[in-house]
Amino acid sequence: MSYFFQLVVSGIVVGSIYALSALGFVLIYKSSRVLNVAHGQIIAAGAFIVYALTVWAGIPIFISFLASMVITFFMSMSVERIFLRRLIGEPIISVIMVTIGLMSILDGVIYLTPFGSMNYSFPEFLPSTPISMGGVSISWTQLVGVIITIVLIATFSWFFKSATLGISMRAVSDDQLASMSVGISIPRVFGLAWAMAGLSAAAAGAIIGNITGLNFETLRAFGITVFPVVILGGLDSIIGAVVAGIIMGLIQQFAAGYLDGNWGLNGTADVLPYIILLIILLFKPHGLFGTHEIERV
Amino acid sequence: MSTNRWLATGNFYTTYREEQRIFRTHLDRLLFSLFLVSLFAWPLLISASNRNMLVINNILIAVVAVYGLNLVTGFAGLISIGHAAFVGIGAYTLAGTARSIGESHVLITHAWPLMILISGFVGAAFGAFVGLPAMRLKHLYLAIATLSFQMIFTWTINFMTFFNQGQMISVGRVYWINGQVGRDEHYLFWYYVILVTAVFCGLGVRNLLRTRYGRCLVAVRDNDRAADAMGMHPGLTKVYAFALAGFFAGVAGALHTYMFRGAGFESFTLHHSIIYLAMAIVGGLGTLPGSLLGPVAIQILELQMEHISEWAGTFLTAAMNLATALRPLGFGRVTVLFLMFEPRGIANWWRICRSYFKLWPFRY
């Protein structure tokens, strides 16, 4: 039974990181209806910036964590400014294609750095002995990661509920014309959405990097696993991202714990989310919390 | 129609039949025939090295695959981020058959046109299956469905022992009328096979687009609600677009397997799906000349990237990893630049060129 609870705990840990990764994705989709395929690369970039600042520049890890969030904030904002601003009003297909192209470019840029081919791991800054409770153990890095995730998601929820900028972002996602008429600058909101997505991606990247080590392929894979999560939760719902992230984390951990090794299966955790995604798309296309688009001619 | 059937300055259609003609003037027809003849005849005059033949064959296989992608993404307006997986389905249909009945079975070596066709149909079946969500959904979700199909495909190939866990599965040499195709003429033989396939597929696509089924695709892309009101079934049309794309991809995959004499999973990854998309975009989405020009442009770009990284490798440290970096960097940059500055692709330059000569000496 403790095995079961262990899986539940690690599922929640993984799931909360998924939730944080999906958050940035949902932010961009919610405000500008753009599917950001390059999200995994931004996650990876955030993690690498934290490492570079901590190890190569010798800055304390918490400060470099914040610094990396600031850097990706401006990085994503400029990505939006350079590549996507001029595509406002273009068909949605070309916008998605641009993010696919962006994914390739960021891939190339990261391959140019040493991070593209080598594996690194963060220096230990937390006690390495895990906390055990009744046969269930959780490492300090995981615990701190989950706490940071919860804090960030709470901040984002507050931001959307109460801050003026957050409310204007919600307004834009609801109706662009109407929000323009009350004086909201739509390009600025789009830029802000990208910037905040970059910020949350950097946080997610740093946490993942601490837990799994810095491997470009792993970090990039998170960006793609985000797709099943957001589809399950509904593409434009923050609560959906959190709930679906945790569900997906649990499913992956259970698959890895119970399916792998039996019946000659292995690596099911990598493929199960996508199978679930195809099934959800067939039967509940708008996910758990997504808005149903009502089309009027 | 103007009385001069050789040259027409401008369009003077008086019937719908005339508008649907493939070749507007006799000159068009003549130039196209000359182009085809030169494609068939040049290997008789010039003997290219195996390396060059390989590049040319690769381009032609990509052309066949991009026909499919262009149908689904360009004409039907549905993004497919998993096209390499469909190509892989075709390749592994052939490779799987070879593995189960032996790589030199008569079916593989003698009945290879049949095998190519079967691979195409298996690809179509998978395409239709992945397109099923289209019955209820719009493009965004479909793009994700194709992406997840790509992931599932890669995992399945890597996992199943039947597919040799992604390692190379070899396929025997084929037979032609005058016996087995030897090592020397392998690439030349497959050049002709692929060329004939590509020409037939191209004619097929061109003719499809002037039938009601082809126009259906375009109508659904432009406005699926209006298409619905006109009596088409948008969902079924999308499924059928995916099936068509799967067919072309499957054929391309089978050709790929035969030409490389085997299939390995590394030719059908997400990266290749993105390359196919780049080809379709750079060539020009929703145009037939684009399906030819895109693969040529991207393959040339790839060759140049290889040259640059070889040249740079002489004075850079190995840690820079330039060879792996340059390819995605190049593809990404080209895709983004084309989308931002020339969304209609190289085919648009081709169109501008043509209309210049057609209208000369007038400007418009």
Domain residue ranges in chain A? 2-122+138-283
Say whether both B6 and B132 belong to one domain: no
Please determine, for residue A132, whether its predicted confidence score (pLDDT) is greater than 80: no
A136 confidence band (pLDDT: 50, 70, 90) = confident
CB-CB neighbors (< 8 A) of B134 in chain A: none
Please report whether residue B349 resides in a domain. yes
Q: What are B75-119's pLDDT values in tens digits?
A: 888 888 889 999 999 999 988 888 888 777 878 778 888 989 999
Co-location of B182 and B291 in the same domain: yes
Please tell me the number of Cα atoms within 13 Å of B334 on its side-chain side. 28
pLDDT-based confidence at B1, cuts 50/70/90? very low
Q: Do the chains contact at A117 and B324, CB–CB below 8 Å?
A: yes
- The whole-number pLDDT of residue B199 equals 92
Distance CA B287, CA B279 (A): 12
Query: Chain B window 81-120: which residues touch A at a Cβ cutoff of 8 Å?
Result: 81
3-state secondary structure of B79: coil
Whether residues B325 and B257 share a domain: the answer is yes
Residues B67 and B31 in one domain: no
Same domain, B254 and B117: yes
Contacts of B133 by beta carbon, 8 Å cutoff, 6+ apart: A278, A281, A282, A285, B141, B142, B145
CATH code of residue B86: 1.10.3470
Any domain includes B252: yes
| A104, A275, A282: residue with CB nearest B152 | A275
Looking at mean pLDDT, say which of A84-98, B102-116, B253-267 comes out highest. Answer: B253-267
B71 lies in some domain: yes
Which 8-state DSSP code applies to residue A129?
S
Does B364 map to a domain?
Answer: no
**Average pLDDT of chain A, as a whole number:** 82
Among A98, A103, A116, beta carbon nearest to B324: A116
Give the ipTM of the model, two decimals please: 0.82
* Cα–Cα nearest to A287, from A250, A238, A215, A214: A238
Chain centroid to Cα A160, Å, comes to: 17
Average pLDDT of chain B is 85
Residues B29 and B105 in one domain: no
Asked if B242 reaches chain A (Cβ–Cβ under 8 Å), the answer is no
Best mutation target, A41, A94, A104, to test chain B (most B CBs within 10 A): A104
Residue B196 sits in the same domain as residue B290: yes
Shortest CB distance from B274 goes to which of A87, A98, A104? A104
B30 belongs to a structural domain: yes
Q: Which CATH number fits domain A2-122+138-283: 3.30.70, 1.20.1260, 1.10.3470, 2.60.120?
A: 1.10.3470
Q: Residue B60: its pLDDT value, please?
A: 92
User: Do B197 and B346 share a domain, yes or no?
Assistant: yes
Confidence check: pLDDT of A297 > 60: no
All residues of chain B having their beta carbon less than 8 Å from the beta carbon of residue A86 are 340
Q: Which residues of B touch A105 (CB under 8 A)?
A: 328-329, 332-333, 336
Contacts of A224 in chain B (CB under 8 A): 147, 151, 270
In the structure encoding, which two tokens stand for residue A181, read together?
Answer: 């008429």
User: In this predicted model, what pLDDT tens digit does every residue of B137-150 receive, in sequence order?
Assistant: 766 778 888 888 89
Å from A112 to nearest chain B CA? 5
From B237's Cα to the closest Cα of chain A, the distance in A is: 17
Does an H or E element contain B242, and which?
Answer: helix B234-260
Q: Which residues of A touch B136 (CB under 8 A)?
A: 282, 285
Interface contact B301, partner A, CB < 8 A: no
Q: How many domains does chain B have?
A: 2
Per-residue pLDDT, averaged over A128-134, amounts to 72
Is B248 found in the same domain as B182?
A: yes
Contact B77 A107 (CB under 8 A): no
Query: Which domain does B15 fall in, by range?
Result: 1-41
A38 pLDDT exceeds 80? yes
Say if residue B30 is in the same domain as residue B129: no
CB-CB neighbors (< 8 A) of B130 in chain A: 278
Is the alpha carbon torsion for A224, A228, A229, A233 positive or negative?
Answer: positive
Q: How far apart are CA B321 and CA B326, in angstroms?
A: 9
Residues B13 and B160 in one domain: no
Of A13, A22, A10, A87, the closest CA to residue A238 belongs to A22
Q: Is residue B255 part of a domain?
A: yes
Residue A130 pLDDT exceeds 90: no
pLDDT at B134 over 80: no
Identify whether residues B94 and B241 lie together within a single domain.
yes
Single pTM value for the model: 0.87
